[in-house]
Chains A and B, each alone.
Chain A
Amino acid sequence: MNDLRELYQETIFDHYRQPRNFGRLEGANRRAEGYNPLCGDKVTLYLQVEDGVIKDASFEGSGCAISTASASLMTENIKGKREADALHLLDKFHGLVTGTATADDLGKLAVLAGVREFPQRVKCATLAWHTMQAALANVEEPVTTE
Chain B
Amino acid sequence: MMMDHRFQPLAYSDESAENQAVQRWRADFPILETNVHGKPLVYLDNAATTQKPLAVIEAENLYYRHDNANVHRGVHALSQRATDAFEAARLKVQRLINAASPNEIIFVRGTTEAINLVAQSYGRSRFKAGDEIILSRMEHHSNIVPWQILCEQTGASLRIIPINDAGELELEAYEQLLGPRTKLVAVAHVSNALGTINPVRAMINLAHVHGVPVLLDGAQAIAHLPVDVQALDCDFYAFSGHKLYGPTGIGVLYGKTALLDAMPPYQGGGDMIRSVSFDGTTYNTLPHKFEAGTPNIAGVIGLGAAIDYLTGIGFDALIEHELALLTYATQSVIDIPGLRIIGNALEKTGILSFVLDGVHPHDIGTILDRQGVAIRTGHHCTMPLMEHFGVSATARASFALYNTRAEADKLAAAIYQVKEVFGR
Contacts and interface: CB of A to CB of B under 8 A. Distances in A.
Do A and B make up one complex? yes
Interface of A: 1, 3-5, 7-8, 13, 17, 38-42, 62-66, 68, 118, 120-121, 124
Contacts of A1: 370
B393 A40 contact: yes
A13 B366 contact: no
Contacts of A63: 360, 362
Interface of B: 358-363, 366-367, 370, 377-379, 383, 386, 392-393, 421-423
A72 B362 CA distance: 18
A39 B370 contact: no
Given A38-B378, A39-B377, A121-B366, A8 B421 contact: yes
A39 B361 contact: yes
A41 B392 contact: yes
A8 B422 contact: yes
B366 A40 contact: no
Contacts of B379: 39-40
Contacts of B361: 39, 64
B16 to A, nearest CB: 29
20 contacts: A1-B370, A4-B367, A4-B421, A5-B421, A7-B366, A17-B358, A38-B378, A39-B362, A39-B379, A39-B392, A40-B383, A41-B392, A63-B362, A64-B362, A65-B359, A65-B363, A65-B422, A68-B360, A120-B366, A124-B362
A6 to B, nearest CB: 11
Given A7-B366, A64-B360, A40 B423 contact: no
B358 A64 contact: no
Given A4-B421, A8-B421, A39-B393, A64 B363 contact: yes
Contact of B362 (A5, A41, A42): A41
B370 A3 contact: yes
Given A41-B392, A63-B360, A65-B422, 12 more contacts: A4-B367, A5-B421, A8-B422, A13-B422, A39-B360, A39-B361, A39-B379, A39-B392, A42-B392, A65-B363, A68-B360, A118-B366
Contact of B423 (A4, A13, A68, A118): A13
Nearest to B423: A13
B274 to A, nearest CB: 44
A66 B363 contact: yes
Contacts of A5: 421
A40 B392 contact: yes
A58 B366 CA distance: 27
Contacts of A40: 378-379, 383, 386, 392-393
A112 B214 CA distance: 51
A121 B363 CA distance: 9
A67 B422 CA distance: 15
Contacts of A17: 358
B369 to A, nearest CB: 8
Nearest to B383: A40
A38 B366 CA distance: 13
Contacts of B360: 39, 41, 63-65, 68
A65 B359 CA distance: 7
A118 B37 CA distance: 12
A21 B305 CA distance: 57
B118 to A, nearest CB: 26
